[in-house]
Amino acid sequence: MPNIASAGQLFKRYSGDLSRTTVFLSLFALLLASRLCHVAILWEGDSYPLAAAEQVIDGKALYRDVWFDKPPLLPLAYVLWGARPGWPLRVADALFAMLASWLAYRFARDLWSEREGLWAAALLGFFLVFDLPSAILPMASDLMIVAPHLAAVWLAWKRRPFWSGAMAGVAFWISPKGIFVGAVCALWDPPGALWMAAGFAAFSGVSFAMLAAFGALGPYWDEVWRWGRLYAGSTFVASPWREGVLRTANWVGFHAALVFAAACGRWKGSAALRWAGWLAISAAGVAAGLRFFPRYYLLLLVPMVLLASRGMVRIEGWRQIVAVLLLAIPVVRFAPSYRMALRDAGWRDTAMDRDSRSAAALVRSMARREDSLFVWGYRPELYVYTRLPAATIYLDSQPLTGVPADRHLTQSEPVESVEAAKRRASLVTTRPSFIVDGLGLYNPRLAIGNYTELREWLARYREIGRTGGCVVYQRW
């Protein structure tokens, strides 16, 4: 196959001549353009930390004054650009993806050479563009740990265990799955495990001290860990392992270029065992909770990108051409989503966001400066779109119904009942100017008017309008 072999040599020579500046400028242009296509859309992963960050900017303490069931670094990152939606959010998304790509470049370059580094950056950036938008667009916890994940393992490889542990701590205070990052670091530098634990403890100690200073340590435990345990311990998937196999097969298919290139890397000895361990630990993180959401696979994307970068450099001829051509699979599947995002008309994936914008417009048309809002259901984007302060500590109704948001549109079985009832009893002492029920039209069994202890309180409000998925109430 001389012609294919010659083409492969030409491609390899050309890719090796690309300058670092050219690669990173092109990559940032692609990342920024992709994010700006979504400038008018809020995904679920955007809206929850945005809404919480708005409350923090207004002077409220996370957990003490704002119920938030994820670690604090997630919403605090949004404070950096004033918790503003639109272009500030999307530029921040692009800059974060560039940071992660740069870390992938540095890690792969130090492991092997400049060429592997550029491939690692390009591949990570590519798959942070061509994947499910809801997984890779929002700076949700699963995306935000990509950067500290890379940094922590890189530092472990460089035998800087204290700082490796500290970065694993950063990952942990963004997402509980950061604990898997710590395990990978210990695998890559076993003699440094004690220093890693010290770095992890140092960062965590500062975080705990800050929570205690704001009187938020107890609420943090209840909201992140006790509620989180209830959430993680009760999957809504009927056959989780079957679903896991199916979704993993889908992920492998869309990331076939990575899998093929990584398999061609000719791994041997202790290096092969170390990489296999990283993949196994990341896969365990994906499976934790038995939900297998697409965004969970970002944990697995990190080692796969590095492995594939080595394979892309080592393979030659027709194999390299095949690996590059396999990149067309995600492009063909996900590139049309950017056109749909720009049009944002009739796209099923953003139907609830459009509905929230309509409900927010109705509220804004009648709201005064001093008004406040309470949202029933899981629609935190309504706080962002209305720019009204939350009237209660609850940004959504999960802790009030006991039914997690991953199932409450179709199911109504609570994971807890007694504590949820106590929280509803406290809700009637609040006086929001507006209430938006964004759940009842989807699941009437969980409508706000179905709870006996809330009926007298709700009777003080009148319905002022409806959208396709929301009922809007205003206080008399």
Distance CA 211, CA 439 (A): 32
215 and 317 assigned to the same domain? yes
181 and 47 assigned to the same domain? yes
273 and 401 assigned to the same domain? no
272 and 420 assigned to the same domain? no
Of 303, 318, 340, the residue that ends a domain is 340
The beta-carbon contacts of 457-463 under 8 Å, at least 24 apart in sequence, are 457/427, 457/428, 461/435
Per the structure, the count of domains in the chain is 2
Q: What is the pLDDT of residues 66-101, one digit of tens each?
A: 999 999 999 999 999 999 999 999 999 999 999 999
The amino acid present at 414, given as its one-letter code, is: P
Of 291, 310, 340, the residue that ends a domain is 340
User: Both tokens of residue 281?
Assistant: 């630990």
179 and 315 assigned to the same domain? yes
179 and 159 assigned to the same domain? yes
Which residue is associated with the tokens 């001389």? 2
The amino acid present at 245, given as its one-letter code, is: V
166 and 266 assigned to the same domain? yes
Q: What is the DSSP string of 218-241?
A: HHHIIIIIIHHHHHHTS---SSHH
59 and 84 assigned to the same domain? yes
162 and 193 assigned to the same domain? yes
353 and 321 assigned to the same domain? no
> pLDDT value at position 474?
97
Of 320, 340, 360, the residue that ends a domain is 340
Domain that holds residue 447: 349-475
What averages of pLDDT result for each successive group of 10 residues across the chain (476 residues)? 46 56 94 96 94 96 96 95 94 97 97 95 97 92 97 98 98 96 97 97 96 96 93 80 92 95 83 93 92 93 96 86 92 94 88 96 95 97 96 96 94 93 95 97 96 95 96 95
> pLDDT value at position 215?
95
Q: Who contacts 456 (Cβ-Cβ below 8 Å, separation ≥6)?
A: 428
Rounded (10°) angle between helices 114-127 and 20-36: 10
Distance CA 377, CA 144 (A): 25
229 and 376 assigned to the same domain? no
110 and 21 assigned to the same domain? yes
Q: Show the beta-strand stretches assigned E in 343-456.
A: 373-376, 434-437
